[in-house]
Structure 1
Amino acid sequence: MSLRPAAREHLFTNGTVDRYRRALADGLDRVATRISATDRPFTGVTPDQLALEVSAVDLDRPLGDVREALDELEDVYLRDAVYFHHPRYLAHLNCPVVIPALLGEAVLSAVNSSMDTWDQSAGATLIERRLIDWTAERIGLGPAADGVFTSGGTQSNLQALLMAREEAGTREHLRILTSAAGHFSVQKAAKLLGLGPDAVVVVETDRHRRMSPTGLARELQRCQEAGQTVMAVVATAGTTDFGSIDPLPAIADLCLAAGVWLHVDAAYGCGLLTSKTRRHLLDGIERADSVTVDFHKSFFQPVSSSAVLVRDRAVLRHATYHADYLNPARMVEQRIPNQVDKSLQTTRRFDALKLWLTLRIMGADAIGELFDEVVDRASAAFDLLSEDPRFEVVTRSQLSTVVFRFMPTGLPADLPADLARDLADRANLHAREALAASGAAVVAGTTVDGQHHLKFTLLNPETSLDDIAEVLELVAEHAGRFVREQTPDLTYSVG
């Protein structure tokens, strides 16, 4: 049975290119208008409020018209989206994106190459492989290096730890050592790999929230004495909360001496690969057995764009399975480059194109300049907070985060310390929620040593120190008001 003419009109074919142009032009105009008019990062809408509008849409009654659909999209998405391009979005590791990458996104979505096999991707396979080689060269992994693009740091870390487990030579009593400030995806990967709940051993950090080499040496020794096999040490080049970079040379020395796989999670810190002034902060990463990079964090790429790199391409065989209909083993003998032989995924987008066009239009130095800007801004924000008696700041980041805490001042001297800490906790939680509800700014929250803190994650070069100062005033205003309301009988000032 043939499709109805109206249905055919919506297929992207050589006969509908004019319709495609008009639809995309309408969509681009709508997004551009929204971006140009956005004066705050968020509207403060609640899940319950927005759920009512989304659930009211009848998906069995199509609108049939692009502009009507875009009008509806305004109400259920665009109006209340969180806009990372806004200079007062200071929460998570979400970056504003560069225009060349948006061009790549449009091209790759329209052509819709699938990266699993050569006969579905052709030149896309070669572009992805060239970018993997380029990244491995920047890291310094050596001539035998290889890798593959992934959906994000969680998948990259999972694949790296899968390879480490297979290379360990045993499945018994396996352990993974990682920093107390490391990413939760290490624990998630251990569970997905079928390891026990005690498989991940947390190594202490120093006062700058970096993995302690002394602590690592102690844990390596303890595991050896307990008859446990350390299948991997996961070092972090850019922790999510503190932007801390573990001492990679010292960790690499310990791993080499113990014969242990070293994985470096550089999902955040990979932007330093393009920095002319801070590349040295990654010294030692070239000694890793595997590395995670997230281009959609510090390379200003749209989600998703990540990769896992390995020193020895042979270890990628642990992700290889052959299917007669897709990538039969004989294709290896014919030297046909099927990326599914390296990947945990089968169908996979050509996300590498975004980075390719970024490098071809902007160049790596421009990416590095943008990343250096946000690192500089975070350093200035740390100084600003350090000089403000209303706040305490945890540690100076090596990258672009700032973790801090509003501290009520003017409280009675005889107020018990536990009550003062609880009051400060609740004030910081309230300030973050009130700020988001107002839509004026978005900041993140985290817990440090059992106490609630706030966090700036700076990835937008457009964010100025004035923006940061004004957000701090809003935080102090919300937190101070909360403290006054909670303690009406106390003499209190905001500092």
Structure 2
Amino acid sequence: MTELLTRAYSPGGFRKQGHALIDQLADYLEDVNRLPANPYATPEESLERFRQILDRRTTPHDVFAEVIAESVHLHHPEYMGHQVVPPAPVAALSDLVSSLLNTGMAVFEMGRPGTAMEKLVIERFASLLGLAPTADGFLTSGGSLANLTALLCARAKHGPADRPCLLVSEHAHYCIERAVRVMGWGEEGIIHLPTDAELRVRVDQVRPLIEQARQEGRTPIALVGSACTTATGTFDPLEELGQVATNYGLWFHVDGAHGAAVRLSPQHRHLVRGLERADSVTLDFHKMLMVPAITTGLFFRDGKDAYRTFHQRAEYLLTEGIDEDWSNIAKRSFECTKRMLSLRVFTLLSAYGPQVFQDYVDGVANLGSELARLIRQQPDLELFMQPDINIVCFRFVHVSLPAISRDGVNEMIRDRLTRSGQTYIVQTRINGQVYLRCTLTNPFTTVGNLEKMLLKVASIGHDLTALRYRIG
């Protein structure tokens, strides 16, 4: 054993570094409001900064300090950017345990605690989501992989088909189209469903498109509903879509990566009425349930369907036996070596119970409503729609600003906010027009923070509008 290896594995060194790191992170959480929400740097500046750190071989404490300082701060009340939650500290601590133990999750004998916890997490959340008693599933690394796995299962259950295809909203997450391409269905494998003014699927258009596809010699296999869409947070009418899927014998999949969690809230569960009709449901715990990325649950209404996607021999890993073997997760999941994702959720569930998740969902949803109310009070801001949950889209539209200039001005507003680093919002395009977009994931964001952000948006917008007229 070399001296370097002894130092690298030293329990005493780990104890010292670990205590220092927890203090460092606790100080960070206490002081995060004093930091910029999104410290700005170009890719080249960031690369050079960390190249210098690597070249001088500093201490772990200094590396951690630099990473903390340079990162986007999701725990900052003015972080209103992408769909990633500020993790609850105890859920983050679970990653330390998981990383140190480093047990794979393919077979039970390698990941006994994680496998048992995963079974319980899936059972508990299937119940909380109001799914059938027959429901089962597993955790996997991200909504894209979960959606692909669900659609592979739909294909396997249907069996061989000529020119297979699925139907999905034209505003659904791009990973659905990517899954279609991965499955080899090509461009004709996806039928985009038209939407209404709030970007919800028009149910009256689904049946004619199914009939048209069949007349063209294509085979519709699945119908996908969004709960909710990424750009605007809009929920499709799941109850009605589920009925259409039943009538036509289609697999009904709900991409609930962001929005399925609202089922836990009595105040907001009406948004996912009909979720129980789905053959499969995707739920990202890292978007609305306080857990570090990436942690996704894939649920099947009939638990037996979970075993349809991946079935192959691997004598070095999997023993022959019954197909429905919940304890050997590799029989169901694309992943073989997998992190102990369940510990992240299990710690929160065991420490605080399901009420903490409901409190979170209600908290950020109410922030969405508050932001919409404040936008409506501003004469120079235009709200796209009353938000369903915690994603809010709006834009600066001063009366003297021609429509042709609005996209450019709103892009510059977002760019200036990003460069300042103090407030972090993003942008999107809706019907070809640029909108500013906020996802309110920090339950400690206040109405004052929202007012401050809107004041900045309006101020920058007025400055840009005035500049435009000075230039002529």
Distance in 1 of aligned mates of 2:127 and 2:177: 29
Cα offset, 1:489, TM superposition: 5.5
Distance in 1 of aligned mates of 2:287 and 2:313: 33
| C-alpha contact (below 8 Å) 2:162/2:217 kept by paired residues | no
Distance in 2 of aligned mates of 1:18 and 1:122: 28
Secondary structure in structure 2 of the residue aligned to 1:89: coil
Q: What does the per-residue CA deviation read over 1:266-294, in whole Å, with 9 as the maximum and x for residues that have no partner?
A: 11112213213222322201010000000
Q: What does the per-residue CA deviation read over 1:305-358, in whole Å, with 9 as the maximum and x for residues that have no partner?
A: 11111112222232132211101224x489682111110000001111111110
Distance in 2 of aligned mates of 1:283 and 1:107: 38
| C-alpha contact (below 8 Å) 1:320/1:340 kept by paired residues | no
Cα offset, 1:58, TM superposition: 4.1
What stretches of structure 2 of length at least 5 have no aligned partner?
none
- 1:415 matched residue in structure 2: none
CA gap 1:322/1:140 in 2 versus in 1, 3 angstroms: farther
- Which of the residues 138, 143, 147 maps onto 1:148? 138
Secondary structure in structure 2 of the residue aligned to 1:384: helix
| Structure 1 residue identity aligned to 2:358 | G
- 2:19 matched residue in structure 1: 25
- 2:353 matched residue in structure 1: 363
Cα offset, 1:381, TM superposition: 1.1
Distance in 2 of aligned mates of 1:406 and 1:130: 47
Q: Which moved more, 1:188-197 or 1:271-280?
A: 271-280
- 1:36 matched residue in structure 2: 30
| C-alpha contact (below 8 Å) 2:129/2:264 kept by paired residues | no
Distance in 1 of aligned mates of 2:180 and 2:330: 23
Is it true that 1:53 corresponds to 2:49 in the alignment? yes
Secondary structure in structure 2 of the residue aligned to 1:382: helix
Cα offset, 1:139, TM superposition: 2.7
CA gap 1:335/1:191 in 2 versus in 1, 3 angstroms: closer
Distance in 1 of aligned mates of 2:346 and 2:3: 38
- 1:383 matched residue in structure 2: 373
- 1:81 matched residue in structure 2: 71
- 1:416 matched residue in structure 2: none
- Which of the residues 211, 227, 235 maps onto 1:237? 227
| C-alpha contact (below 8 Å) 1:371/1:459 kept by paired residues | no
Distance in 1 of aligned mates of 2:188 and 2:48: 43
- Which of the residues 102, 105, 110 maps onto 1:120? 110
- Which of the residues 291, 312, 316 maps onto 1:325? 316
Cα offset, 1:22, TM superposition: 1.3
Distance in 1 of aligned mates of 2:470 and 2:110: 68
- Structure 1 length normalisation: TM-score? 0.91
Cα offset, 1:468, TM superposition: 1.0
Is it true that 1:294 corresponds to 2:263 in the alignment? no
Distance in 1 of aligned mates of 2:324 and 2:403: 67
Q: What does the per-residue CA deviation read over 1:170-190, in whole Å, with 9 as the maximum and x for residues that have no partner?
A: 242111211122111101111
Is it true that 1:276 corresponds to 2:266 in the alignment? yes
Secondary structure in structure 1 of the residue aligned to 2:282: strand
Equivalence map 1:4-403=2 (5 Å):
4-11=2-9, 16-38=10-32, 39=34, 40-58=36-54, 62-63=57-58, 68-75=59-66, 77-315=67-305, 316-330=307-321, 332=322, 337-403=327-393
Cα offset, 1:27, TM superposition: 1.7
- 1:414 matched residue in structure 2: none
Secondary structure in structure 2 of the residue aligned to 1:453: strand
CA gap 1:135/1:320 in 2 versus in 1, 3 angstroms: farther
Distance in 2 of aligned mates of 1:95 and 1:455: 16
Secondary structure in structure 2 of the residue aligned to 1:447: strand
Equivalence map 1:397-416=2 (5 Å):
397-411=387-401
| C-alpha contact (below 8 Å) 1:208/1:396 kept by paired residues | no
Distance in 1 of aligned mates of 2:425 and 2:456: 11
Distance in 1 of aligned mates of 2:341 and 2:358: 20
Q: What does the per-residue CA deviation read over 1:52-102, in whole Å, with 9 as the maximum and x for residues that have no partner?
A: 11233446x755xxxx23214433x22110000111111110111112212
| C-alpha contact (below 8 Å) 1:446/1:453 kept by paired residues | yes
Distance in 2 of aligned mates of 1:349 and 1:333: 23
- 2:434 matched residue in structure 1: 452
CA gap 1:280/1:58 in 2 versus in 1, 3 angstroms: closer
Distance in 1 of aligned mates of 2:273 and 2:215: 31
Identity %: 27
Q: What does the per-residue CA deviation read over 1:441-466, in whole Å, with 9 as the maximum and x for residues that have no partner?
A: 01010001111110111111111121
RMSD: 1.9
Distance in 2 of aligned mates of 1:142 and 1:460: 32
- 2:455 matched residue in structure 1: 473
Cα offset, 1:117, TM superposition: 0.4
What stretches of structure 1 of length at least 5 have no aligned partner?
412-419, 491-495
Distance in 1 of aligned mates of 2:377 and 2:166: 40
Cα offset, 1:380, TM superposition: 1.6
